[in-house]
Structure 1
Amino acid sequence: MVFSSNVFLFLFLPVFLGLYYLCGNRYRNLLLLIASYAFYAWWRVDFLLLFVAVTAFNYWLGIRIGAAGVRTRKAQRWMLLGVAGDLGVLGYFKYANFGVANINTALQAMGFEPFVLTAVILPIGISFYIFQSLSYLIDVYRGDVEPTRHPVDFAAFIALFPQLIAGPVLRYKDLADQFTDRTHSFDKFSEGAARFMQGFVKKVFIADTLAPVVDHCFALSDPSTGEAWLGAIGYTAQLYFDFSGYSCMAIGLGLMMGFRFMENFNQPYISQSITEFWRRWHISLSTWLRDYLYISLGGNRGGTLKTYRNLFLTMLLGGFWHGANWTFLIWGAWHGAWLALERYFNVDAAPKVIRPWRWAFTFLLVVLGWVIFRAENLDVAWRMYAAMFSFSDWRLSELTLAKLTSLQMVTLALAYGVMAWCGLRQFRNAGAPKAPGTAAITASTAAALSLDGRLLLTRICLLLLFVVSVMKLSAQSFSPFLYFQF
């Protein structure tokens, strides 16, 4: 089941919310757990058993680590057992096929018979719930959170259906209090509904419209320079609106249930360095990698060369987390190398003014990285790069022109227009005063009334776009979120 489906919009969500607000606070976490398991089992019931087993394993280990004491050797052994077990599960289901395929390639090159392994199916969302389990065990070991003795609360945290499939990557220490005491109000619910509709429009109205253009360009056997750049620029917009759309929907659903999740995106394409980009893109993952991988490797405590090494390895492993493919490893290495270079040259990660050349260069680096991230294999990536930089023919083929629609081209222009407007507005607001002075109280009151009017108009426009997006959803074929594969 996905958020952008009729069965979720018109069956699962209204039934769940109705039951959620009818039952008392005492049973809401239990209802949330049951609903989350039903949401996950809609895909495959058998993998729900794996999900429950991983949850029980980490709940038990959390208690053992807590009982052993903060940062003791015994607690460390329990923690390492949990890390090994979680990574073992993730490694088998996510990388077994990849490992066997590469071993067989080497064996066949040496004249040996290849191994035979039944294809391993990748459980949806396993990367996210494994990372959440790991952060819980490590936080308990570090003493950052008390181990919970409420199995329903812990299981509900791991299985929260709003973020179960594609994040954000949540941490128990950030939500522990909300499981025991969270507020519900009309304002909070309406804010969540608006965020959900915003994400839905991003996904269905923009990302799904751009998807056929991107798929066509990356499938061409001999793309022109124009087609390769169209595919790269199109995917850059598609991925952002698809993934940030999912995050908006997850945050919105959380608000409807009284939870407040961390933001996962902050206008990443206005970044003027790769360092700044990773402070704005998939924030929950980048902070997870920093706190649990980069720092565990030594961070910047071991000298200059080790700092560069740790930055590179963190992004390399972060790339491999996305999938079992050499393309993801190279993508992670690409970003890791630039992070290390920026650290070496002491590049300002948060400039106060817009420097067009820095923005353009950073955006180019990001786009080039997305090409290999999107490519099915290294051959496709090389084909796209060769076409992009051959500069031989900027024209689109007759086949491409026949497949392109006016709606798709307008949507692509609209996507970049929206990103540019939001980015410029953020820079403008960053320089605005935080609060009005005494002399500005009257003007501030008038501005607040005007703001209320604009907010109402914005909500009406958003509702209309949401209705149009629902109609589009009913007319189009199924289109899963891009991050479901990770």
Structure 2
Amino acid sequence: MLFNSIDFAVFLPLFFLCYWLVAKRLRLQNIFIVVGSYIFYGWWDWRFLALILFSTVIDYSVGRKLLVEKRDNRRKMLLWTSVIVNLGFLGFFKYYNFFLDNFVDAFAFFGTKISVSSLNIILPVGISFYTFQTLSYTIDVYKRKLEPTKDFIAFSAFVCFFPQLVAGPIERATQLLPQFYKKRVFELDKAKDGMRQILWGLFKKVVIADNCATFANDIFNNSGHMNGSALVLGALFFTFQIYGDFSGYSDIAIGTSRLFGFHLMQNFAFPYFSRDIAEFWRRWHISLSTWFRDYVYIPLGGSRGGIRMKIRNTFIIFVISGFWHGANWTFMVWGVLHALYFLPLLLMGKNRTHLGVVAEGNIWPSIKDFFSIIVTFSLTLFAWIFFRAKDLDHAFSYIAGVFSKSLFERPNFLHLRMAFVSVVLIVLAVVVEWLGRENKYALESLERRFNRPYRWFIYAVIVFVIGVYMKTEESPFIYFQF
């Protein structure tokens, strides 16, 4: 079930009414969440519900065993049981054909042809997200940072909580699970705030991302016939497409959670206003980057060791991050690029220079900050070319086309006038986000800044624009494929 679908528009208010009017007790609230989440997820393919249930049972059981087991070797065995089962499912569904194809190609390179049939595997939606979420529970219980739960219903609700089940944020058990132990009471102010964030998330998805996708897909799919300036335009459209799509999903997920009395972590903190790549990664897909930091980077030694260890750990974390996104060499090159961007900052001790909000308390950034933002944005835009390209050959030919003489020609893109309207909408969204950059999301301060008539006028305009650009066919979110 998609957030931007008619199905969800019917499901959400029905679930909301049942949740608050019928589920008066905590356990009933949690049961409602489990049932509603399974309906939500099973709307795509009911067969994969067994996968979530199996993962839930395994990690719940491992947690219960870790509570009573005192022997270190047995505790490690239990931890590795959870890790192997969870990553085993993820590896099979997501990477089986990738490794098989590369295995065959490696033998072919040395002159030996082998015939192996690949499998027609359907990737379960959201498996990369809920796998990491359940792993955080097992690891934290193993490290004794978290008391394992005795409440299977609460744990099931934590694993399958529908707003963030499919594409995050990837919540830590230490932060989200305790919220299922406390009875929720409806709070109007939180619900209104949640609706505001949902509205802005829909705007970013429907008006910005889906619009940009039309032009980005056209240019990338026909890049061989495009001149350099048109290719730059395509990369620019994809840059805003992926941000509008993924941060829009996160806004809808966080806002929806607030309707039911839950608080989810901020997943995007206006990353395109970053002044260096280190700041970008503190602001982009925060739940994933902090997951890798805490469960991979720091256990490897982090940045505490010598130069060689710092370089090794930086490349490991970014390559894994790229590989997490999908079974394609383009994602790994994207990760390596970001490692190369990040490494000089780390080695010079400047990776934590920009911890605050850019131009905090001011309308305009300083000249230095402005150019730092432009440089950082340009680096991320360049890296997105690899992320979007279908393979490495496509990426390199696309880049070669960008850096050709035709870069300074008028874009030979047929829909240039239509694209101009999208550029205007992008600029409008950037302005709104810039003005709201000191908040958790762009419209958060609307309640404080404007009186009710002005607020409702702004809401009406946003709803109208969303209605104008809403597509008749369903448009999936990009990160559903990850």
TM-score of the superposed pair, with normalisation by structure 1: 0.90
1:42 aligns with 2:43: yes
Cα 1:416/1:467, change in 2 over 3 Å: closer
In structure 2, the residue matched to 1:162 is 163
Segment of structure 1 superposing worse, 93-102 or 336-345 = 336-345
1:410 aligns with 2:409: no
In structure 2, the residue matched to 1:200 is 202
1:242 aligns with 2:245: yes
User: How far has the Cα of 1:165 moved from its partner?
Assistant: 1.0
User: How far has the Cα of 1:312 moved from its partner?
Assistant: 1.5
- The one-character-per-residue Cα deviations of 1:1-52 (angstroms, maximum 9, x if unpaired) are 100001111x211211111111213301101100100111111111111111
Note if contact 1:371-1:381 (Cα within 8 Å) is conserved in structure 2: yes
- The one-character-per-residue Cα deviations of 1:118-173 (angstroms, maximum 9, x if unpaired) are 22211100000100011111111111111011111111111111011111111111
> Partner letter of residue 481 of structure 1?
F
> Partner letter of residue 217 of structure 1?
I
**Within 5 A, what are the aligned runs for 1:44-193?**
44-69=45-70, 72-109=72-109, 110-181=111-182, 182-193=184-195
In structure 1, the residue matched to 2:481 is 485
Q: Secondary structure at the match of 1:192?
A: helix
Note if contact 1:267-1:419 (Cα within 8 Å) is conserved in structure 2: no
Pairing partner for 2:338 from 335, 339, 346: 335
Note if contact 1:79-1:137 (Cα within 8 Å) is conserved in structure 2: yes
Segment of structure 1 superposing worse, 297-306 or 37-46 = 297-306
Cα 1:8/1:102, change in 2 over 3 Å: same
In structure 2, the residue matched to 1:442 is none
In structure 1, the residue matched to 2:362 is none
In structure 1, the residue matched to 2:219 is 217
User: How far has the Cα of 1:393 moved from its partner?
Assistant: 4.4
In structure 1, the residue matched to 2:363 is none
Note if contact 1:224-1:394 (Cα within 8 Å) is conserved in structure 2: no
> Partner letter of residue 455 of structure 2?
T
Note if contact 1:269-1:419 (Cα within 8 Å) is conserved in structure 2: no
Cα 1:470/1:20, change in 2 over 3 Å: farther
Cα 1:108/1:308, change in 2 over 3 Å: closer
Segment of structure 1 superposing worse, 95-104 or 173-182 = 173-182
Runs of 4+ in 1 over 6 A off after TM superposition: none
Point out where structure 2 has 5 or more consecutive residues left out of the alignment: 360-365, 440-444
Note if contact 2:446-2:455 (Cα within 8 Å) is conserved in structure 1: no
In structure 1, the residue matched to 2:442 is none
Mapped partners of 1:349, 1:228: distance in 2: 33
Q: Secondary structure at the match of 1:163?
A: helix
User: How far has the Cα of 1:452 moved from its partner?
Assistant: 5.8
Mapped partners of 2:309, 2:434: distance in 1: 35
**Within 5 A, what are the aligned runs for 1:443-454?**
451=448, 453-454=450-451
Note if contact 1:237-1:416 (Cα within 8 Å) is conserved in structure 2: no
1:419 aligns with 2:430: yes
Cα 1:145/1:211, change in 2 over 3 Å: same
**Within 5 A, what are the aligned runs for 1:361-372?**
361-372=375-386
Cα 1:457/1:67, change in 2 over 3 Å: farther
In structure 2, the residue matched to 1:251 is 254
Q: Secondary structure at the match of 1:297?
A: coil
Mapped partners of 2:2, 2:131: distance in 1: 20
> Partner letter of residue 151 of structure 1?
F
> Partner letter of residue 93 of structure 2?
F
Cα 1:225/1:197, change in 2 over 3 Å: same
Cα 1:303/1:184, change in 2 over 3 Å: farther
Cα 1:289/1:449, change in 2 over 3 Å: closer
Mapped partners of 1:162, 1:126: distance in 2: 14
Note if contact 1:20-1:28 (Cα within 8 Å) is conserved in structure 2: yes
User: How far has the Cα of 1:274 moved from its partner?
Assistant: 0.5
1:20 aligns with 2:23: no
TM-score of the superposed pair, with normalisation by structure 2: 0.91
User: How far has the Cα of 1:177 moved from its partner?
Assistant: 2.4
- The one-character-per-residue Cα deviations of 1:181-232 (angstroms, maximum 9, x if unpaired) are 1342111111111111110111011111111100011011232111110011
Mapped partners of 2:137, 2:453: distance in 1: 40
Pairing partner for 2:273 from 263, 270, 274: 270
Sequence identity, in percent? 38
User: How far has the Cα of 1:397 moved from its partner?
Assistant: 6.0
In structure 1, the residue matched to 2:347 is 344
Mapped partners of 2:7, 2:293: distance in 1: 38
User: How far has the Cα of 1:459 moved from its partner?
Assistant: 4.5
Note if contact 1:197-1:463 (Cα within 8 Å) is conserved in structure 2: no
Note if contact 2:20-2:186 (Cα within 8 Å) is conserved in structure 1: no
User: How far has the Cα of 1:269 moved from its partner?
Assistant: 0.7
Note if contact 1:300-1:307 (Cα within 8 Å) is conserved in structure 2: yes
Q: Secondary structure at the match of 2:299?
A: helix
Segment of structure 1 superposing worse, 338-347 or 323-332 = 338-347
User: How far has the Cα of 1:307 moved from its partner?
Assistant: 1.9
Mapped partners of 1:484, 1:262: distance in 2: 19
Q: How large is the Cα RMSD of the aligned pairs?
A: 2.3
Note if contact 1:210-1:234 (Cα within 8 Å) is conserved in structure 2: yes
Mapped partners of 1:385, 1:78: distance in 2: 47
Segment of structure 1 superposing worse, 274-283 or 106-115 = 106-115
